[in-house]
C-alpha cells in the first residue's frame, strides 16, 4: 500500500519534470509532418530520437538535430505493416540508442477520404493495417522492450478528431474514422495491462493540422479545408507545433499520473462545429 503523502513532491520544480535529457524515444512516421515536429521538440528537451519511416530520407532539417540540440538522432526505413520490416527497424533503433528506449510516439498513418459506397477493398485494408495494426505492433515491441529492461516508460499514439464519430459532410471517410477510433479504443485496455510495469499509454486526437497530408486538399478539395477552418471555434487550422507540447508532456515525468487518456487538441472542433 502507498504511504499517504499529503505534501506531494515538495519542492520539485515543474520545469524539471518536462526535461527529457538522458531518455530516448522511438517515433514512427517521424520523417516529416507531425512526427518530425515532435522529434524536433523532444530533441529540444534533451531526448534522443530514433525514427522509423517508409521514406528513403527524412526531411533535411532532421540531420541538424544533433548539432542544434546535442542529442543523437537516428533514422531508419521500416514498414509498420510488415512484421519482419518493423522488427528489424525497431532492433536497429534500440541499438542506435545504446540499447535503451524510454518511450514512443506512434505517428505513422495514412488517410483515405472515400465514401463507403466507393470504397476499394485493398485501399481500405491498407488504411486499417497502417493506422491500427501498425500502432498496435509498435506499442507491443516497445512495451516488451521496457518490460524486459525493467524500465518505466510512456507511449503516445496519434488518433484524430475523427475518432470522436465526427461526420464531415464534405469529406466522408468512415474507414479512416474507424481506424482512429480503434487507436483511441486501445488506450484504456493497454493502460490497464501495462500500468503494473510503470508504462503509461495515452493518445492525442488532433484536429485539422497543416501537414503534407492536408496540403493535398488544395484546389478542387479546398472546401474540406474551409470546413475545418471555419468550423473550429478558434477559426483556424492547426500546425504541428500545436501538438508538440502535448506530446512532450505525455512523454515526460510531468504526466507521471496520466494514462489511458485521449487528449483533444482540435481548436475546439470536438466541442461542436461552429457551422452547425
Whether 252 shows a pLDDT value over 60: the answer reads yes
180 given a catalytic annotation: yes
- Is residue 3 domain-resident? no
pLDDT digits (tens, 9 = 90+) for 189-205: 999 999 999 999 999 99
Catalytic, out of 180, 184, 228, 249: 180
Catalytic, out of 40, 75, 154, 176: 176
197 given a catalytic annotation: no
pLDDT of residue 77: 98
Q: For residues 150 and 11, what is the distance between their CA atoms, to the nearest angstrom?
A: 28
pLDDT of residue 201: 99
Which structural domain, as residue segments, surrounds residue 261?
A: 14-209+240-266
pTM of this structure? 0.93
Q: Sheet of 262-265: strands edge to edge?
A: 73-77, 48-53, 24-28, 103-106, 153-158, 199-206, 262-265
**For residue 49, which of 88, 81, 76 has the smallest C-alpha distance?**
76
Confidence of residue 4 (pLDDT cuts 50, 70, 90): low
Q: For residues 253 and 20, what is the distance between their CA atoms, to the nearest angstrom?
A: 8
pLDDT digits (tens, 9 = 90+) for 91-126: 999 999 999 999 999 999 998 888 999 999 999 999
| Domain harbouring 105, CATH code | 3.40.50.720
- Is residue 7 domain-resident? no
- Is residue 224 domain-resident? no
Confidence of residue 264 (pLDDT cuts 50, 70, 90): very high
- Is residue 228 domain-resident? no
Confidence of residue 220 (pLDDT cuts 50, 70, 90): low
Work out how many domains the chain is built from and give that number. 1
Whether 143 shows a pLDDT value over 80: the answer reads yes
Catalytic, out of 69, 75, 154, 160: 160
Q: For residues 266 and 209, what is the distance between their CA atoms, to the nearest angstrom?
A: 9
pLDDT of residue 168: 79
- Is residue 19 domain-resident? yes
- Is residue 274 domain-resident? no
- Is residue 232 domain-resident? no
Residues 194-219 have a mean pLDDT of: 87
- Is residue 231 domain-resident? no
228 given a catalytic annotation: no
Amino acid at each position: 500500500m502507498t504511504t499517504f503523502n499529503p505534501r506531494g513532491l515538495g519542492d520539485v520544480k515543474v520545469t524539471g519534470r518536462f526535461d527529457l535529457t538522458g531518455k530516448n524515444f522511438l517515433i514512427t512516421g517521424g520523417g516529416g509532418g507531425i512526427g518530425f515536429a515532435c522529434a524536433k521538440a523532444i530533441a529540444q528537451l534533451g531526448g534522443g530520437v530514433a525514427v522509423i519511416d517508409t521514406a528513403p530520407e527524412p526531411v533535411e532539417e532532421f540531420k541538424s538535430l544533433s548539432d542544434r540540440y546535442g542529442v543523437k538522432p537516428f533514422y531508419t526505413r521500416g514498414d509498420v505493416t510488415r512484421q519482419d520490416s518493423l522488427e528489424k527497424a525497431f532492433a536497429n533503433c534500440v541499438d542506435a540508442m545504446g540499447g535503451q528506449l524510454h518511450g514512443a510516439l506512434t505517428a505513422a498513418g495514412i488517410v483515405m477520404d472515400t465514401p463507403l459506397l466507393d470504397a476499394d477493398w485493398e485501399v481500405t485494408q491498407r488504411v486499417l493495417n497502417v493506422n491500427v495494426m501498425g500502432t498496435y505492433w509498435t506499442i507491443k515491441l516497445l512495451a516488451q522492450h521496457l518490460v524486459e529492461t525493467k524500465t518505466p516508460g510512456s507511449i503516445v499514439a496519434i488518433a484524430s478528431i475523427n475518432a470522436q464519430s465526427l461526420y464531415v459532410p464534405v469529406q466522408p471517410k468512415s474507414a479512416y474514422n474507424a481506424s482512429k477510433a480503434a487507436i483511441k479504443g486501445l488506450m484504456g485496455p493497454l493502460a490497464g495491462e501495462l500500468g503494473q510495469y510503470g508504462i503509461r499509454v495515452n493518445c492525442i486526437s488532433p484536429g485539422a493540422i497543416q501537414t503534407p497530408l492536408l496540403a493535398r486538399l488544395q484546389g478542387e478539395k479546398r472546401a474540406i479545408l474551409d470546413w475545418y477552418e471555419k468550423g473550429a471555434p478558434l477559426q483556424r487550422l492547426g500546425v504541428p507545433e500545436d501538438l508538440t507540447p502535448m506530446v512532450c508532456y505525455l512523454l515526460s515525468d510531468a504526466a507521471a499520473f496520466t494514462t489511458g487518456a485521449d487528449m483533444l487538441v482540435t481548436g475546439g472542433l470536438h466541442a461542436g462545429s461552429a457551422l452547425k
